[in-house]
Amino acid sequence: MMKQLHPIVKLAREAVENYVRSGEVLKPSELSPEMRSRAGVFVSIKKHGELRGCIGTFAPTKANIAEEIVANAISSATQDPRFAPVAPSELDELEYSVDILTEPEPVDSVDQLDPRKYGVIVECGLRRGLLLPDLEGVDSVEQQIEICRAKAGIASGEPVRLYRFLVKRYK
């Protein structure tokens, strides 16, 4: 029996399935209260437990969270440079999770970070790397920061500004 999906996860799944099958962008109609505000959103797609796509925005770019979910779900399925676009034959095997981010806040020291609780943004000039919290295999703040540096192309000696954020994760 299929477990009942949270409306936020269901929206991400429907957006991907609709786009992959028809090329059309879903227009969210019924917005639950948590979809009406604005926030950064990341959509992660997994296939058989392995990452298949993950794209998001750390600050809102759309009118509401629902539109942010639709846009990032489609990008996650079709634009993640690490993967080929999702094919219609894969749709039944995919699992989705949606992270809604709080406003990033600057931190003065790594002591204010916790890889289980906080996501991290590492910034150097215009280069910026982001890592979501509570990821399998990421157990230390140092790992989080190194992954962010690598994503952004920031060398280990370069000075960086650090930000942290919380997420509400829907699976």
Write the pLDDT tens digit of every residue in 35-48: 999 999 999 999 99
**What are the tokens at 150?**
């690598």
Q: Spell out the residues 6+ positions from residue 157 whose beta carbon is closer than 8 angstroms to its own.
A: none
Pairing mode, strands 161-165 and 105-107:
antiparallel
As its CATH architecture, domain 105-166 has: 2-Layer Sandwich (3.30)
Distance CA 139, CA 21 (A): 38
Given a contact cutoff of 8 angstroms between Cβ atoms, the answer to whether 106 and 162 are in contact is yes
- Residue count of the chain: 171
Q: Which pLDDT belongs to residue 126?
A: 96
Distance CA 41, CA 102 (A): 9
Distance CA 83, CA 91 (A): 15
Write the pLDDT tens digit of every residue in 70-114: 999 999 999 999 999 999 999 999 999 999 999 999 999 999 999
Q: Which pLDDT belongs to residue 2?
A: 56
Distance CA 72, CA 49 (A): 20
pLDDT band at 30 (very low <50, low <70, confident <90, very high): confident
What does CATH list as the number for 7-101? 3.30.700.20
Q: Which pLDDT belongs to residue 1?
A: 46
- Write the single-letter amino acid at 33: P
Write the pLDDT tens digit of every residue in 132-166: 999 999 999 999 999 999 999 999 999 999 999 99
Going by C-alpha positions, the residue among 49, 54, 56, 41 that lies closest to residue 94 is 49
Residue 18 Rama label (left phi>0; alpha psi -120 to 50; beta): alpha
- In this model, does residue 128 exceed pLDDT 50? yes
Distance CA 108, CA 163 (A): 9
Write the pLDDT tens digit of every residue in 46-69: 999 999 999 999 999 999 999 999
Going by C-alpha positions, the residue among 101, 111, 13 that lies closest to residue 65 is 101
**What are the tokens at 160?**
């960086």
Domain with CATH 3.30.1490.150 in the chain: 105-166
Domain with CATH 3.30.700.20 in the chain: 7-101
Its pTM stands at: 0.91
Half-sphere exposure of 41 (CA within 13 A, CB side): 32
Q: Which pLDDT belongs to residue 99?
A: 97
Given a contact cutoff of 8 angstroms between Cβ atoms, the answer to whether 46 and 53 are in contact is no
